[in-house]
């Protein structure tokens, strides 16, 4: 683990980032007190296969898609309501 103060980090940031990229853990100190640790990122895992969403929808709704969306239902409900304020 490499220890570095804030001023050194500011002046030689590229060098320290190269060390972190190579696997080194960097401990950043301010007035001899540790304020941060910079650690290398773990390699990203490839994402798994997405489930077949169309197949799931067909199993959930075998008779087909819902006829009217929630937005359409709300618009229809609101059309019958007078939107003018009543005092």
Q: What is the pLDDT of residue 83?
A: 54
pLDDT: which is higher, 2 or 71: 2
What's the CATH number for 2-38?
Answer: 3.40.1620
Q: What is the pLDDT of residue 84?
A: 54
Closest CA to 29 of 1, 4, 57, 60: 4
Provide the 3-class DSSP secondary structure of residue 63. coil
Provide the 3-class DSSP secondary structure of residue 7. helix
Q: Cα–Cα distance between 71 and 68 in angstroms, integer?
A: 8
Residues 29-83: tens digit of each pLDDT: 999 999 999 999 988 887 777 778 878 878 888 877 667 778 888 888 888 766 5
* Dihedral sign (CA 77, 79, 80, 81): positive
Q: Residue 34 in contact with residue 6, Cβ under 8 Å?
A: no
Say if residue 12's pLDDT is above 60: yes
Q: What is the pLDDT of residue 23?
A: 93
Domain boundaries along the sequence of the chain = 2-38
Closest CA to 4 of 43, 30, 39: 30
pTM of the model: 0.50
pLDDT: which is higher, 86 or 12: 12
């Amino acid at each position: 683990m490499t220890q570095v103060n804030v001023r050194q980090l500011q002046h030689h940031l590229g060098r320290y980032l190269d060390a972190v990229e190579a696997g080194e853990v960097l401990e950043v100190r301010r007035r001899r007190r540790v304020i941060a640790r910079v650690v290398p990122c773990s390699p990203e895992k490839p994402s798994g296969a997405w489930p077949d969403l169309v197949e799931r929808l067909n199993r959930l709704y075998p008779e087909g898609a819902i006829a009217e969306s929630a937005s359409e239902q709300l618009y229809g409900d609101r059309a019958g309501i007078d939107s003018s304020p009543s005092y």
